């Protein structure tokens, strides 16, 4: 039975009639895969930038401009006027990259060791993917050329924009640590308070200027900053329940199963109902109901990061074995996603089990792709730096300027993109723009956002 679509979208979301929704549908499975494929042009942009611009001086203006052509422009075009050619572009670019690597990049000798470090290259690339994709989507969604199928789902679904908050939770978890004692708790305000302050500021500003906010996304008063801040706060307290990083796996999965059980017992139906947003709990039921799912994903990400970085250096064979394990887990997660689509549904609004597995499957898949190219293949002498570690040589690789700048000032980039999105909406009326105008405006917007953090990178200015 097909999933019946009730009406077009309001704001930036797509709504389905819950009375007509058949969760046992192929549509959610297709959406989850299609959404992953939507972000491939950005991934390929990072890879192409490393291949074609790696020889240029680090942080040079010419390098930044070329990377913008390889990353920014394809992203703009392929999420708007050229969305129908997204898969074709990804397929052709993938074959071109693989063909080049096969003919030009020799296999690394067995005496090389790979530097993993406490913040691996793949984590940095994943974070840049989240920031870059979110920056493009939050403005592109306001143009008529942005595909309706990419917009956030109001209830069940796995659209491209549904990935945003989940990716941010994962990237936050990958660079976080398990809270071990009260001393660690005393450090918590440094990372939690700024997020809560940003959330409060956003709510106050939106209320003051009477700017439209979709209540069915996080609720009347809550927003993404509040969700991230509360997730980190709750996750830090929950992690006190375990005595080692390894036990975070059981804690996160147990919390996720309890969360899904509560959803199935009626919470999910209430959250997605048409009940009025009155009183604090009901008015913010979407955001509040998602918190334990967010915390479960956050703790699961911390566990994965500790497992991945358990060894600072790996041999070629050791890295291959580790990536095979990640690939197997990714396949298992995708299977759970498909099963959930037919049984309980995939819902960003409640951070359901299916949604958490989907986001984790996407992240693991991206990590395997990035590790294959940036840690296995692109480590030849002219694309990397070498140093001796004992009787073996160690290789590490530099990253595209786009990635480095987002890594240094990702939150600044995100805040700037939100500010410029508001300015464009209030001054340029994006919903009435032609296809050509939408591409020009989006390209200029992404160029400015990326350019500001690039300048900050060159001047060694770090804010957040």
Q: Give the model confidence (pLDDT) of 340-367 as tens digits.
A: 998 888 999 999 999 999 999 999 999 9
Average pLDDT over residues 132-141: 92
| Global pTM value | 0.89
Establish if 418 belongs to a structural domain. Answer: yes
Is residue 2 assigned to a domain? no
Name the range with the highest mean pLDDT among 45-49, 96-100, 118-122, 182-186: 45-49
pLDDT of residue 16: 45
Q: What is the dihedral of CA 373, 374, 377, 378, to 10 degrees?
A: 130
Query: Is 358 within a domain?
Result: yes
Is residue 3, in this structure, part of any structural domain at all? no
Cα separation, 184 vs 365, in Å, equals 32
Please state the rounded mean pLDDT for residues 300-326: 90
pLDDT at 17: 46
Lowest mean pLDDT among 24-28, 59-63, 374-378: 24-28
- The yes-or-no verdict on residue 395 having pLDDT over 60 is no
Answer yes or no: is pLDDT of 450 > 60.
Answer: yes
Q: Are 72 and 444 in contact (CB under 8 A)?
A: no
- Mean pLDDT, all residues of the chain: 86
Report the alpha-carbon distance of residue 339 to residue 24 in Å, rounded.
9
| CA atoms of 326 and 435, how far apart (whole Å) | 41
> What does the pLDDT read at residue 101?
83
**Which of the residue ranges 84-88, 133-137, 208-212 would you say has the lowest mean pLDDT?**
208-212
Q: Residue 313: which domain range?
A: 13-458
Average pLDDT (228-252) is 94
Q: How far apart are CA 293 and CA 213, in angstroms?
A: 23
pLDDT at 104: 72
pLDDT at 391: 41
Q: Where are the beta strands (DSSP E) in 346-440?
A: 385-389, 392-396
3-state secondary structure of 113: strand
The whole-number pLDDT of residue 318 equals: 86
Question: Angle at Cα 382 formed by Cα 377 and Cα 384, nearest 5°?
Answer: 60
Specify the DSSP class assigned to residue 10.
Answer: B
Residue 176 lies in a domain: yes
Residues 123-132 have pLDDT tens digits of 999 999 999 9
Query: What φ, ψ does residue 283 adopt, rounded to 5°?
Result: -65, -25
Is residue 8 one of the residues assigned to a domain?
A: no
Longest dimension (CA), the chain: 68
CA angle 9, 13, 17 (to 5 degrees): 65
Q: Would you call 94 exposed, middle or buried from its count of C-beta atoms within 10 A (0-12, 13-18, 19+)?
A: middle
Q: Return d(Cα 102, Cα 94) in angstroms, integer.
A: 12
Give DSSP secondary structure letters for 195-227.
HHHHHHHHHHHHHHHT----HHHH-SS--HHHH
Report the DSSP beta bridge partners of residue 396: 385
87 occurs within a structural domain: yes
Has residue 389 got a pLDDT over 90?
no
- pLDDT, tens digit, 9 for 90 and up, residues 278-292: 888 888 899 999 999
Given a cut of 70, whether residue 9 has pLDDT beyond it is no
Identify the burial level of 337 via C-beta atoms within 10 angstroms of its C-beta, where 0-12 means exposed, 13-18 middle and 19 or more buried: buried
Distances (CA, A) of 112 to 109, 308, 325, 367, 386: 6, 19, 21, 21, 9
58-114: per-residue pLDDT in tens? Answer: 889 999 999 999 999 999 999 999 999 999 999 999 999 988 887 776 555 556 667
Model pLDDT, residue 192: 92
Is 6 domain-assigned? no
Average pLDDT score over residue span 197-222: 80
Say how many domains are in the chain.
1
pLDDT band at 426 (very low <50, low <70, confident <90, very high): confident
| 3-state SS assignment for residue 442 | helix
């Amino acid at each position: 039975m097909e999933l019946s679509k009730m009406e077009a979208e309001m704001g930036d979301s797509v709504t389905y009639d819950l009375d007509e929704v058949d969760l046992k549908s192929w549509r959610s499975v297709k959406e989850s895969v299609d959404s992953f494929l939507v972000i491939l042009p950005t991934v390929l942009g990072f890879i192409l930038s490393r291949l074609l611009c790696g020889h240029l001086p680090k942080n040079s203006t010419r390098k930044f401009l070329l990377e913008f052509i390889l990353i920014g422009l394809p992203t703009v075009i392929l999420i708007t006027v050229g969305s129908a050619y997204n898969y074709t572009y990804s397929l052709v670019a993938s074959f071109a990259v693989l063909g080049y690597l096969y003919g030009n990049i020799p296999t690394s000798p067995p005496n090389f060791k790979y530097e993993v470090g406490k913040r691996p290259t793949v984590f940095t690339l994943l974070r840049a993917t989240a920031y870059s994709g979110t920056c493009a989507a939050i403005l592109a969604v306001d143009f008529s050329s942005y595909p309706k199928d990419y917009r956030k789902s109001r209830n069940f679904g796995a659209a491209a924009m549904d990935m945003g908050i989940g990716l941010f939770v994962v990237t936050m978890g990958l660079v976080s640590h398990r809270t071990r004692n009260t001393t660690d708790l005393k450090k918590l305000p440094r990372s939690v308070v700024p997020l809560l302050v940003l959330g409060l500021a956003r709510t106050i500003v939106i209320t003051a200027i009477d700017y439209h906010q979709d209540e069915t996304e996080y609720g009347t008063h809550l927003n993404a900053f509040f969700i991230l801040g509360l997730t980190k706060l709750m996750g830090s307290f929950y992690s006190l329940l375990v005595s080692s990083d390894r036990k975070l796996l059981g804690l996160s999965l147990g919390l996720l199963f309890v969360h899904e059980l509560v959803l199935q017992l009626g919470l999910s139906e209430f959250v997605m109902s048409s009940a009025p947003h009155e009183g604090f709990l009901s008015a913010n039921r979407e955001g509040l109901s998602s918190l334990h799912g967010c915390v479960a994903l956050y703790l699961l990400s911390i566990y994965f990061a500790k497992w991945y970085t358990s060894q600072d250096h790996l041999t070629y064979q050791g890295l291959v074995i580790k990536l095979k394990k990640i690939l197997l887990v990714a396949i298992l997660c995708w299977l759970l996603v498909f099963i959930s689509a037919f049984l309980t549904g995939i819902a960003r609004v409640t951070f359901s089990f299916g949604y958490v597995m989907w986001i984790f499957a996407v992240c693991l898949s991206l990590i395997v792709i990035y590790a294959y190219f940036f840690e296995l293949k692109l480590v030849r002498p002219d694309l990397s730096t070498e140093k001796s570690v004992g009787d073996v040589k160690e290789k590490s690789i530099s990253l595209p300027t786009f990635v480095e700048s987002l890594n240094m000032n990702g939150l600044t980039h995100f805040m700037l993109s939100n500010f410029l999105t508001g300015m464009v909406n209030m001054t340029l009326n994006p919903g009435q723009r032609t296809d050509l105008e939408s591409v020009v405006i989006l390209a200029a917007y992404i160029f400015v956002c990326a350019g500001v953090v690039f300048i900050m990178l060159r001047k060694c200015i770090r804010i957040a």
